[in-house]
Each structure stands twice: as structure tokens, then as C-alpha cells.
Structure 1
Amino acid sequence: MKILRILSLFCFIATTVLTAQNKQITLEDIWSGTFRTEGLDALHSMKNGQQYSVLNFDRANGATTIDIYDYKTLEKVNTLVSSSSLNDIKYFTDYTFSDDESQILLATEEESIFRRSSLGKYYVYNTKTKQTTLVAEEKIQEPTFSPDGNKIAYGLNNNLYVKDLITGNTKQFTFDGEKNKIINGITDWVYEEEFAFVRAFDWNADSNKIAFIRFDETDVPEFSMDVYGKELYQTQTVFKYPKAGEKNAEVSLHIYDLNKDKLQEVKVEKTYSDFYIPRIKWSKAGNMLSAIYMNRHQNELDLWMIDAEENKSYLTIEEKDKAYIDITDNLTFLKDKTFIWTSEKDGYNHVYHYDKKGKLINQVTKGNWEVTDYYGYDDKTDRIFYQSVENGSINRDVYSIKLNGTDKRRLSQKEGTNNADFSADFSLYINTFSNATTPYLYTLNDAKTGQVLKEIKDNSDLKETLSNYQLSKKEFSTIKVNGNDLNMWIIKPANFDATKQYPLFMYQYSGPGSQQVANRWNSANDYWYQMLAQQEYIVACVDGRGTGLKGADFKKVTQNELGKYEVEDQIDAAKLLGARPYIDSSRIGIWGWSYGGFMSSNALFKGNDVFKMAIAVAPVTSWRFYDSIYTERYMTTPQENPSGYDENSPINHVDKLKGDFLLIHGTGDDNVHVQNTMRMVEALVQANKQFEWMIYPDKNHGIYGGNTRLHLYTKMTNFINRTLGDKL
């Protein structure tokens, strides 16, 4: 009897374990936060180099705190500020320290404008007096402390203001700002989206001058979007949006002298009249401003140094490229007035050291691999810290190297994706590691050796949750396509049987310089692919020509013909995969979002004998509809390159459609306008081609909010099951 009970108990445990490990992923799991990872929010290294701050949210009382932790013990040593102790602030969503860390700028009531821009009410919290000061009654943009901490500059209604924190007085110093006409110190839509910054003003080191870019978008064509909302009548959002070949905003560079209360325009001697100013930055010298100018084609870049006192300009670096030049934030001024710069002028992105006049001192990093992030320079040890793909293009590692290019050290040890956040004195860093099988692991590391000193977070709760699910391995490999070894991952059903045939569902993005095949932890899409694998699909992703981190030649081969070589690679990769005995070549589908939607549409139309179905979410359907900076960087203008625009845009190939096509877009997409889908729909109708489509009212390029993502992925899953799920 006792033996029988033991056997019964063993069978119960075995059955429970087996059942737990076979739990199936659902769309509700994915979009309810079941697989959410833990991180360190708004991490800031304190000036002393021994502590760091993190933004925490106390769900019990709804309060936000800025907590201070000791690097070496990882123990919380102090709560610097809690919204529960502030009368005016229920909670705050972000924070910024003044340089001396005696004051903190707290962001509240933030509301998004576009992808990176927002409005908010901001308070200054004094850590000594424990008092808060409202910066402005109105919602403002990009408030920024002066280096001495005595003032804050900000944007309001397209003009610039300075608040004196000692006297409490506020001074407006630009007056011509007007919506859809003139913007001072805040970028226009296309700069924000494509040059990836919003604050177009900067304080000098002496806190007595502000440099800013002025945008005159008076003659830029307007784009309007209906906002349906919940009222009886819809409203409209109208904003300036320069499409390819159309008029850009005219930009100019200005400096405001606070002591003299004087504005002056900066002019440099360019060889081109239509230009961009994608970056400005003051050097460590109080009167020396740097500014990057680029021609409209973005294949010429000039770095100018401007003496603000004498209003004289000096051309320091001049780069030219047969295709285009990428913009980064890696310009670093050193105490001896030399500077560090990154460039891919030798065919790969590397670090360079120049003297103050722009003469090359030395190329710091070299090799057939890319520097993917620049962390900074420690003058005490004379070392540069950076991230690169030297250990394989799907991996990321943290390195240090002497400024003269010697004594390179690989600091990270685990193979996968490593990213570093250094202490202010560069003695320690917090490493964020993940790979395809390991969720985010946060460790404290020694900056000299890379040695792990302590674990901070390991996402053990997520690992425990995932142990209950049936998961497939993400297999990394390369596939030989059109003479190139292309990076690929593939996910097969957990119970994969090589004697069976499975439908293949391909994902890609494929945009210039992008990467989807990377050894890193799951995104929400990865869990969706796992769910599809549970439903007996094979899912694969191939990074074709034009994608990044394999050198400039591989990346820039698509120049002037976006959608040609990338589409050829996806079609030919599908053919090669379809030839494998375990893949049913009659059931191959492809999907993508944004550039990926442009690609999946093209692949279905041009590869109509290969792909049975495609899903295109928020796709560009003609490059004539997209913005000037992005499109012309790769295509020049449609006036110069009409065939490049038209021969590779899917809207011009709808007559080739044979398979099943699902087209999805949000009407509030300020980036890839719903115009793209509307014009595609009309082209398909006139070609008498049947298709399916879904419109999400007022949703932007990300198509989210409430149940939107769950609905979207349910729609796509049902479409996949209906078109690929059953053998013909």
C-alpha cells in the first residue's frame, strides 16, 4: 500500500512537471506583460563615481522615487527624493541632475508630440533645501540646466527662454517663433525623426552663451491627418513634412550672449547652398562651438569650429563618401583641445583621434569589424571604452583601448550582446548582458579588467515563468545568397520532425544599416514566433544586403535602388530554404513592419512564384511619399533618380500579385503616412487584385494602445493560419 502511494505520487509529480514544461504561449500572454523583463530605469552615475541613481516606482502608494545605490555593495543608501513628500507633484516620470548634482529637474504631466518629442511640466528640486520650483506655468520642451546650475533654458511655442533660478526671473530671447513657420532651438519633424534629436540648442561651458539652430519651415509643404477621436466631428493635425525632392526647412545657426543680451547669426563658407546642420556642440573652451554641416545628398560632411567671441569659423574635418555619411553623437573634446571622432572612411566604423585643427593624430581602432557604440574616454588611464562586433557581427562586446591604439582589452566575457554604463570616474561599469537563451543580466564590473564583481539583476522570475513553457531554440547560421554569407536565425517546432514538411514564415526589416539577426534576448515578436512554432510553423529571418555591421560596401550596395538587392536576397533565401526537405515550398510567407512592410509587399509581388502570402504593416509603398532626409540619403531626389524610386516601389508592381496579401496601417501615423496604404489600395483595386486590409483609427506608426496590439497580432495570426496553415 505504501509502495502504491509512492508510485502514485511519483506519477503525479512527473505528469505535473511534464505539463508545466509544455505550456503553450498565447497572444494574451505576450501582450499582458507575462514575459516582461526587469531593468534599471533612468540609470545615472553619480559624480563621486561610487554611487548611481535609479528611478523607482512604488506601486503600493503610487509614488516615484530617485534612489541612490552604492556600486560596490549594490545596497540602497539613500532616497534622494520621493514624490510622496512633495506637495505639488503626485509622481514624476523622468529626472535630470544639474552638473554639481545639487538640483534635480523632475518631469511631470508629459505628453508625447512625435517619436522623441514631448511637452511637460517641470520642477526643480533642490537637494539641500528640499524645495521645488516650477520652471514655467505652461508645458514646455527640453528644459536644460546651464553648467553652473543657476539657469534653465527651454523651448515654448517655438521660442527660447532662460529662467534664472537665483532671481526667479524668466527672459525670452527669441520672438519670431510661429507654428508651422519658424522654430527656434527645437527640431522640426524631419530632423527629429531622421537625425534623432529634439533639443537644437546647447549651453557653453561658461554658462553665458546658448547656441541654437533656427528652422524656417514657411515654404515646406504641409501634411494633414484626420483625428477621429470620440467627438461628433473629427479634427485635423497639420504639420510640415518635406517629402523626397520637396522644399526643406531653411536652417541657420545662432548664438545668444546672455551677458550682452545679444543675438548673432553664425555663417560658414560652404560649397553647397541646400544643407543640414545635424549636430552642434560646445567644446570645453567656453567660446568654441562645433557644428556639423552636410549637403542635401548627405555624402559631404564638414565639421566646423566657431569662435563665438570673434565670430570666426574654421573648417576642421571634411569627409566625402560615394554614398552617404551617418551622423553620430561620438564627438568628444579632450582637455588638451584634441578630439575623438568616429568614421567609416576606411570601410568600417572606427575611432579616430585628431588635434584641434583637424589633423589626424592616429586611427585608434582598426579591423574588418564595426565599432557600434562609443562610451567615453578616461584621461586618468588614457583609455577609450567602446562596444564592437569584433567577436562576430551578431554579437556585441565591451572593449577598452589606449588612445594611441595599443593595449586593447576585451572586457566582456559572455557571448551575446553586452552593453556598458560606466561610473563617472570610469572605475566601474554596469554591464547589461543577454543572448538568445539568457534574459537581461545586470552585473557590476571592474572597468580595468572587466571582472564581474556582483550580480545586480538576473531576471530570475522571468526564467521561472518561462520554465513552464515549451520553447524552441533560436538557431543562428549563415546562408549563401547571391555570393554573400547572410546571417540567419531559424526557429523550428520543439517537436521538429525532419521527415515532415512545415510551412515557412519569414520575417525581415532590411533597412539600410539595420540588423535583425542578433544574439540577444527576446522581443515581443520572438514570443509570437515561438507561438507560431508551437502551431507547427518554421520561422526564419535573413539579414540581406544593405543591412549593417558588415562594413560600408555591404551596407551601401543598395544606394540609389532601395528595394532591389534586398528583395532579391529575400526571394532567393526563400527559394533555398524551400528546397530543404522539411519545408513545404508551396507554403512560404513573409511579413514586415515599416521598411519591412515595403519589403514584404515587394517580395510577394516580385516573388509571386515563391511566396504564397505576405503581411505588410505600416509600409512605405512608394519612396515618393516618404520624407526628404531619410529617402534622399539613400536615393538622392526623385527628380534625379526617377527610375530608382519607381522601379523598386511596390505600388508599381501590384499587377504581379498572385498570393494572399494583408495590408495594415494606423491613420495617425505621422511617419509613414496612411496615404501609402490608401494609394496602394487604389492601385490594387484598379488592377482588380483581391486582398485584405485593416485600418487602426488614430494609431501612430507603432499601432498600440489598450487592446490594439492584441487585436493586431490576432488578426495577423488568423491570416497566417488561413493562408499557410493547411496543405493545398
Structure 2
Amino acid sequence: MASDKIHTHKRKNSHLFNEQSTSGSSLRTDYDISMDNMELENMGPPGIGRTTSIPNVHSESINSSHIDLENQNLSVPQSEQPLSWDTWYLTRKYGENRRVRTGALLIGALIILYVFITAFMTVSSGKNADNGSTNNGKTGNSPSKVKPEKGFDIEDVMKGNLMIDKKNFHFIDPPYRFHNHDLDPGLYMTTVTNDEGTKFYAKQLFDDEFVKDLGSNKFVYHNNEYTVDTIKISYSLEKLLFATDKIDDYRHSSTANYWIKDTVTNTIRPISPYYDAGVPVRISYAYFSPGYNFIYFVMDNNLYFQDVNGEHAPVKVSSDGSADIMNAKTDWVYEEEVLADDRAIWWAPDDSKFIFARFNDTDVDSYIFPKYTTNQQYNPMTSIKYPTPGRSNPTVELFYYSIGDSMIYNVNMDRQHLDEIILYDGEWIGPENFLFKITDRFSKELHVKTFNTQSVELLNTRDLNVYDFKGWFEKTKDICVIPPNEEKYRHNYGYIDVHHDNDGFNHLFYYDSPQASTGKQLTHGNWEVTGSGVVGFDYETDTIYFTANRYNTFSQNIFGVKLDAKRDDELIALQDPTVKYSYYDYETSSSTRYALMEYLGPSLPFYAVGTFTDILSLKSAKKNAALILTNNERRNKIEGAYELPTTSYKTVKMDDGVEIDYIEIKPASMNPKRKYPLLVNVYGGPGSQTFSAKCGTSLEQAVTSGLDAIVLQIEPRGTGGKGWQFRSWASESLGHWEPRDITEVTKKFIHENSPHIDHERVAIWGWSYGGFTTLKTIEFDKGEIFKYAMAVAPVTNWLFYDSIYTERYMGDVNTNIDKYLESSRVNDIGSFKNVRRFMLLHGTADDNVHIQNTYEFVDRLNVAGIRNYDMHIFPDSDHSIKYHNAQSTVYKKLYYWLEEAFNGRLDDIEH
């Protein structure tokens, strides 16, 4: 629900939710500077869902050591205090309701217990250091230990000791795409922070002497000082859009005060629907139009636009905005599950017109939850429109507005036979044709339509369905617009789309006009286009650059293909295929002359920008060949201070022949005489790709390094990147195959590594969809393999989750209620008696996976008399669990609870 901007409707990492698309067709100039220069890799929870038949991958260990990127010359080097145990144990063992009659008795008991424990730990540590101790599973063989010299734990992670420091860098989009490299100077924005504060600068990659000071991140208006949260910059560098006092609403949406600065006159004015009001007001968002001639914004769910110089009063495009009617702004379910954005407006590339969506939530039911940390005698209530399976969805309409005649038209969406529709995408293919995609309510039939603004005609260009694959449709990759080129006899605007081919793999298709009904397949094979899809289009060479997992499902690399490619062997491999495991992201400038490269693993991340050629080769001998964004001094310090665990990428064949990918994370130094505890980390959402060759320095690595344990990360059937034959296992089967695959993989791993695994210290954990998978695995396994479990913000019944996501996979609740009740909820409460202990964590203000899921599940535990669990509630935290120091608390809670489990200290707590 959540998975990176990872451009699907879900995200694994909550801190990455606002990453921007790297599509070559339109790079958004929206820079969030709140995390100035720092990036914490892989922290934050996964979201619910995201987001070829592959060869048998042999076990290959990847050590986070000194590596040579793509075999080139530039090498990239690697690498609240908890309660004391006795205090924690007494609190857990006796609880607040048991009273000690005198303070002296309590103190005496504590001293005796402390002496006993200290003696026991000393003996246990000496006894178990080499060969462990099972004692029928009642005594842990993972004794408390001193952290290895180059090891790290959760404290190091949460303090940011492994954070990679890098310079701010963002390309600034021109008002139109550059067709020739010579026209593209590689204009970008960066920040510089020193003792005087933070300032914005515009620079060029072509001319390193070009520098324009855009001013400070602080300014004074009417005697009040404001600090910039986000900034957008016009290509002329004459206008800046600021957001201040930003308050997040949901995953993508927020409200803030917005301002426009004229860098020529050095004046700042607030953006407001009230002309010359002179005071800031809270609005939902503000952006430049593509040509920078206008600014547009939404306030109170009504759309406005204004000339960029502010010479005229803002034009109010809609007037019916309300709590139930949203104009050019997504409602909750479209923001979360469909468009993955807070905006629902599309400007023509020449600024002459735009189309926006209007969402009507009048008939959508509300979810209401209280806020607790307000110091009010009665809790204020928060309400969101939240459709659930079988209930009313929002309705959607499209409106066309022409700047020239100030007229607004309702676009006929041609719903055909569909009673209800979902709007999945929109894009201008040139200045006159608007393409959009709609599906039925259950996301099984896709209809692609083009609205021509000159003829005011709507054409249904193509229809797709996934019945043959037992699949579904969802938001995937951005369309890349291909402009005309008369020299190459290309007379019309066309576009590149990413969708499944006849074999069920997501590939590139070229449609040579907006009205084309069939596309030319440009890529083929048992692999998929991944990440943001199209990275850029080189007009001079007619080359499409894109990212894919062609080498293996764990990796992501960049490739090229020509528009006139006729065979798959014409695919251009831009990185060394002999480097088996590597993960890259790219972003290009308008002409693709320049590129930003993000090397994300398996070694420590590395960032650089330069010409496309220099970035791909990274020849350090060439002076100024690339601008290195990574703070290498900091990076080398991390490499020297910490030894990262050893990571291996593996595939195992299930008993029924299906191949499952998983990652094994082991301590850097293994003791062959020792039995290691095992933690299994799961997600498993349909179509998601959670685990990859990206470098990890988060909870799992801290557990491996600090708790001396082995971690497995498993991708069960139904997940993405391997085509529909693998993905479709999830269809109408949420909660069925995930626990079976996870249990079987874990069982096979333990059997193959039995001398080194402590069978009595096996745990599983997950967040969001991973929390659901965790509970379903415990339900299925019944304590045979897994002895401990940790579930954060889990779904426990899919009838409680939102309709668009759930029905996409589970279908119509009215005709498929048996599967909703049998597989997609946690049913067998009795199974939880068989684990030693499990823990539940949830935020009370979770707008995504409502705490109703956990409360209803706990109620059933109570009815069944099951007491072998712990519970941690986070007041007023949402799905990411960050409010009031919650993020630090939740990860430390998971880590230290697991430490107690691995040391056997949870086994004797009364059930």
C-alpha cells in the first residue's frame, strides 16, 4: 500500500514518497530542500502495494567492499536509550497492576535479580560464544555481546552515522524540449550552506563559470521572517516559486503559503486568489505552466491561474469546490492509489490550454478517527472520504479550458459500456491532442482515448484487457512524447508507452501518432522495463533511453533503443553486462546531452552528473569529466568506520517448480561453530519489487551487524518484475501464496544451512502489506518454523482497505466474497498461540491502513484468550509512524524487542 518518486501508486520507503519522475518527457522543477544534502538509504516503512522467467541464479556473495563501477577507472569505495534489561523485564513480567508492598522489597529484588542476571550472562556468554546452547530452546544462544569493532546497530542507523552526504542538484526544465545538444547548457539548481545560511544558485554544466545567485532560503515579508520549504525556478531564472510553512496532509498532498519572487526587481509577493491582498494564504499547491507564462494553484479545492508577472487578477476556473468536490486536485484514493500525485491538471506544452479532472466524493463513505495529542478535553475528529470494497467510489469528469477564449468545456469521456470508471493517466501528445486512459472499476479493461481540441472530437484509439493473464491495470510509467522530425519523415507527434506484450512482460511500444491504434514493440524478452521507465529521448539520434532488469531481477541498468529498431539484438547495452548485480537510476537534461547518475548499490551509493558519455564511462582521468555530487570524504569515512554485512542474491525452486527470488544478508565475519538466529523480512504486495541490489543500511543490516543474525528478504509469487505468469498468482488470492512461499523458502534455507541456524530463534517481520504477510505467515505456519513475529501497521481484513487497490486484485466483493473471507483476512486466531511471542505496532491516525485493522484483530485475540503478544500504539502517527519522535521509537522498538527474542528473554513471559 506506500515502494523510491517510485512512480507507481505505492512506495516502499516513506522518506522517498516525494521523489520526482525521471521521465525524459517532462522533468518537474519542484525541489524540496528540507533534507538539505542528506539522504538516509532505505529507512522508512514500506507502503501497502507498489508498486521473465529468469535463469536459475546461483549463490553469489556481494561484499560491500571497494568496487570499480562498470569496470571503469573511477572506483567507488564501499562502505532515547532503552530500558536496562532488568527494569524492562520487571515491567513486562509483573506489569503495572502488580504491587510491591514496600520500596525496600522492590530495591532488594532488583539488586538480587541484577546480580543473578549479571552472573548468568557472564557464564552464558563464555559458554555459548563458540557453539551456542539450546537447552531445549529455553536459553538463547545469541548472547548479549560487544558490538564488533566495525559493526553498527540501530543507534548508529538512527543517528545518521551511515548517511550519505551529497550536493543538491536539480535540472531546470526549459519551456520546450531542446532538439539539439548544442542548445542545451545543462542548467541546474543547487544550494550552498555556510555560516551565513543557505542560498540558492543556478549553474550550468556547459559553462562552469556561469553562476547566478538566486537568494537566500529565508526572507522577510511585512516584518515576518519565512523559511523556504520547496522551490521552483523558471528557466529564465527571473521568477521563483516558494512554499513556506508547509504542512503535509497525506502521502503527496499538503498545504502551504506560496510566494513568487522576481529576481530582477528582487521583490516577493504572496500567491493568493485575492488580487493585491498582500497577505499569505494557505493553498494546496502552486506551479508554473510548462512555458512559464502562468502560475496555477488550488485553494479550497478550486482552480485558479494568473499571468506570471501578476499584472492581472487571478482567474477563478471553478467555483464548486468543497469538501466533496475537488477541482484539479486528487481526492484521497486517487492520490494514494491511482495518479500518485496531489495534482490532476495537464497543461498543453504551448501554454494555450489545459485539461483538469473534477472528483466528486459526495457518495463516498467517510472514515473518522480522533486526534489525541491536542490537550483538549474532548478529542477533535478527523474525517476522510475513504471508499471500501463494494461501496461507492468517487466519480470523475474532465474539463477543457482554453486560455484564448476563456471558455470551459466538459470533455465527453465516452464511458462506453462501463458503469463506473477509473482515470489512470493523462498526457498531451503535442499541443492539440490530449491522451487519457480509463478502466472499469476493477481495473481489468483499459481504454485509451484521444481528445482533439481543434476538432473537439474524442477518439477511442485502443482497448486492452488482461483476462488472458489473470491480471490487472495500474499506474505504471509516464508516456514519453516523440516530436515530429521531417528529415526522418516523421510528420506527427507520437509517443512511447510501457505496457505488457503478448508474453506478459512490460516493454516499450512506439505509437507514431496520437490516434494510432497499434504500436511498434521496441523491446522484447523475458525481462521488464523498470523504475521510471523512459529516462529520455535523444532527438538527434532517435534513441530512447530507459531502465530495465534485463540482466537479473535484482538489478536495474540503463539501455538504449532506436525508434527504427527492427530486432531485439539492436538493443544498446550502455553498461557492462558482466557486472552481474548493480542498481542505477538516471535523470537526463532536456536534450539528453547531460545525465544525473545515481549508483545505488550493492556498494555504498555514489552520485555524479555530466555529459551522458562521461557519466556512462566515468573516466576520472579526464579532468572535469563529471561533477561528483557525493561527499567522498564522508563516504570514505563511513567505509572505514563500518563493515557492511555480506549480501547474496539467490533463487530457489519451490516444490511445484515455481522459482522464488530472495536475498541473504549475513554478518561480515561468520563463526562456523556458531548457530545464528534468523530474521525474515517480507512485503509481498502484488506487482511490487521490494528487494533489489540497492545498498541497505537500515534495520535489517543493523540486525545482522548489531545482533549477529542472518536476514532473509523474500519476494513471493505475485510480485513484479518477472512478467504476468509470475505476477498473476496474486489475482483474487491476496494472503494465499505469500505465506506458503515464505514458509517454504525459509524451511529450505534452514535445511540447507542447518548447522549454522538456531531453529529456535527464527523471526519474521513486515510493515503495511508486509505486516499482513507476516500475520498470514504465522497463521499458516502455526509456530513450526517461525517462533517470533513483528507486524507494523498491518492489514488484517481487506474489506477494511480502500476499494481501488483491493478490487484491482480481489475483484467484486459481491461475487467473490468467499475469497475475501477465506484468504484475504487473518482467520485462524488459534495459530498465534503456537509462536513464542509476537508484537503489533500501529499509529492511531493512519489514514492508509486504519488502526481498525489492528484493533479488530486484537479483539479476536482477547476473545480467544491469547496473551503472548506485545503492542505499541503511536498516538496521532500516520502510516509512516513519524509523529512526535515516533520513527526513532518504532525502529528501536523493533530492534530491541528482537534482541530480547534472540536472547530468549521473551520465552518465559507469562502468556
Aligned partner of 2:255: which letter?
A: L
Q: Which residue of 2 aligns with 1:150?
A: 293
Task: Give the stretch that moved more between structures: 711-720 or 678-687.
Answer: 711-720
Q: Structure 1's 20 and 652: CA in aligned 2 closer, same or farther, altered over 3 A?
A: closer
**Aligned counterparts of 2:169 and 2:404: Cα–Cα separation in 1:** 34
Q: CA deviation at 1:589?
A: 1.0
* Amino acid in the other structure paired with 2:482: L
Contact in 2 for aligned 1:399/1:408 (Cα 8 Å): yes
Q: Which residue of 2 aligns with 1:618?
A: 793
Per the TM alignment, residue 145 of structure 1 is displaced from its structure 2 partner at its CA by 2.0
Q: CA deviation at 1:671?
A: 0.4
The amino acid of 1:272's aligned partner reads L
Of residues 656, 663, 674, the one that matches 2:840 is 663
Superposed, which structure 2 residues align to 1:156-555 within 5 Å? 156-166=299-309, 167-179=311-323, 181-195=324-338, 196-232=340-376, 233-269=378-414, 270-285=416-431, 287-322=432-467, 323-335=471-483, 336-346=492-502, 347-356=504-513, 357-372=515-530, 373-405=533-565, 407-413=570-576, 415-447=581-613, 450-452=616-618, 453-454=625-626, 456-460=628-632, 461-482=634-655, 483-531=657-705, 534-555=706-727
Q: Does 2:880 match 1:702?
A: yes
Q: Is contact 2:614–2:626 with CA below 8 Å preserved after alignment?
A: no
Q: Structure 1 residues 442 and 165, CA, compared in 2 at 3 Å: closer, same or farther?
A: closer
Q: Aligned in 2, Cα 1:469/1:204: closer, same or farther, shift over 3 Å?
A: closer
Q: How does 1:685-696 map to 2 (within 5 A)?
A: 685-690=862-867, 691-696=869-874
Offset of residue 103 of structure 1: 2.4
Q: Which amino acid aligns with 2:537?
A: Y
Please give the secondary structure, in 2, of the residue aligned with 1:271.
Answer: coil
Could you tell me which residue of structure 2 aligns to residue 78 of structure 1?
Answer: 212
- Structure 2 match to 1:560: 732
The separation in 1 between residues aligned to 2:194 and 2:383, in whole angstroms, is 38
Which one of the candidate residues 35, 38, 60 is aligned to 2:165? Answer: 38
Between 321-330 and 243-252, report the one with greater CA deviation: 321-330
Residue range with higher mean Cα deviation, 128-137 or 397-406 = 128-137
What does the per-residue CA deviation read over 1:121-169, in whole Å, with 9 as the maximum and x for residues that have no partner?
A: 2222234333333212321123222344332221110111122334231
Please give the per-residue CA displacement for 1:605-647, whole angstroms capped at 9, x wherever unaligned.
2101221111100000000000011111111132221122121
Residues 194-223 of structure 1, C-alpha deviation per residue, up to 9 Å, x if partnerless? 111221112223433221111111110000
Mapped partners of 1:530, 1:517: distance in 2: 16
Aligned partners of 1:85 and 1:283: how far apart in 2?
Answer: 40
Task: Give the secondary-structure state (helix, strand or coil) at the position aligned to 1:692.
Answer: strand
CA deviation after TM superposition for structure 1 residue 547, in Å: 1.4
Q: CA deviation at 1:652?
A: 1.4
Larger CA deviation: 693-702 vs 122-131: 122-131
Distance 2:573 2:261 in 1: 40
Give the distance between the partners of 1:75 and 1:589, measured in 2 at CA: 56
Structure 1 CA distance, aligned partners of 2:479 and 2:871? 46
> What is the SS of the residue equivalent to 2:804?
helix
> Are 2:850 and 1:673 equivalent residues in the alignment?
yes
Cα distance per residue 1:324-365 (max 9 Å; x no partner): 023234223322222211111331111111132224352111
User: Any conservation in 2 of the 1:471–1:530 contact (CA below 8 Å)?
Assistant: no
1:548-573 CA-to-partner distances (Å, cap 9, x unmatched) read 11112111211001111111100111
Question: Does the 8 A contact of 1:42 with 1:94 survive in 2?
Answer: no
Please give the TM-score of this superposition, normalised by the length of structure 1.
Answer: 0.92
The one of the two structures with greater contact order (alpha-carbon pairs below 8 A, sep at least 6) is 2
2:256 matched to which residue of 1? Answer: 120
SS in 2 for 1:467: helix
2:196 corresponds to? 61
Match of 2:766 among 571, 577, 592: 592
Structure 2 CA distance for partners of 1:412 and 1:52, relative to 1, 3 Å = farther
Per the TM alignment, residue 472 of structure 1 is displaced from its structure 2 partner at its CA by: 2.2
- From the superposition, tell whether residues 537 and 526 of structure 1 become closer, same or farther in structure 2 (CA, over 3 Å): closer
Which stretch of structure 1 is more off in the superposition, 471-480 or 37-46? 37-46
SS in 2 for 1:652: coil
Q: Distance in 2 between matches of 1:421 and 1:387?
A: 11
| Contact 2:543–2:561 (CA under 8 A) maintained in structure 1 | yes
Distance in 2 between the 1:220 and 1:46 partners?
A: 38
Equivalent residue for 1:3? none
Could you tell me how far 1:46 is from its partner in structure 2? 5.4
Contact 2:847–2:878 (CA under 8 A) maintained in structure 1:
yes
Q: Aligned-pair distance for 1:666?
A: 0.3
CA–CA distance in 2 between the matches of 1:438 and 1:381? 34
Question: Distance in 1 between the 2:247 and 2:806 partners?
Answer: 29
Kindly report the root-mean-square deviation, in angstroms, between the aligned alpha carbons of the 2 structures.
Answer: 2.4
Look up the equivalent residue of 1:49 and give its one-letter code: D
Task: Please state how far the C-alpha of 1:374 moved relative to its aligned partner.
Answer: 1.1
Give secondary structure in 2 for the equivalent of 1:573: helix
2:294–2:307 CA contact under 8 A, matched in 1: yes
Equivalent position SS for 1:670? coil
Q: TM-score, normalised by structure 2?
A: 0.74
Moved more, 152-161 or 521-530: 521-530
> What is the deviation of 1:530?
3.3
Q: For 1:254-287, what per-residue CA distance to the aligned partner results, in whole angstroms no more than 9, with x for missing partners?
A: 11233333222111332212001122222312x3
**Structure 2 unaligned regions, length at least 5:** 1-145, 175-182, 273-279, 484-491, 619-624
Distance 1:101 1:293 in 2: 38
> Counterparts of 1:1-12 in structure 2 under 5 Å?
none
Q: Distance in 1 between matches of 2:603 and 2:351?
A: 48
Aligned residues: 705
CA offset at residue 85 of structure 1?
A: 6.8
Unmatched tracts of structure 1, length 5 or more:
1-18
Query: What is residue 829 of structure 2 aligned with on the other side?
Result: 654
Q: Tell whether the 8 Å contact from 1:441 to 1:459 is kept in structure 2 after alignment.
A: no
- Residues 284, 97 of structure 1: alpha-carbon distance in 2 compared, 3 angstrom cutoff: farther
Separation of aligned partners in 2, 1:447 and 1:284? 29
TM superposition shift of 1:512:
1.3
8 Å CA contact 1:45–1:422 kept in 2: the answer is no
Secondary structure (helix, strand or coil) at the match of 2:232 reads strand
Aligned-pair CA distance for 1:654? 1.2
In 2, distance between residues paired with 1:495 and 1:448?
Answer: 37
State the Cα distance separating 1:72 from its structure 2 match: 5.4
- Identify, as 1 or 2, the structure richer in strand: 1
Residues of 2 paired with 1:148 and 1:590: CA distance?
A: 51
Amino acid at match of 2:880: G
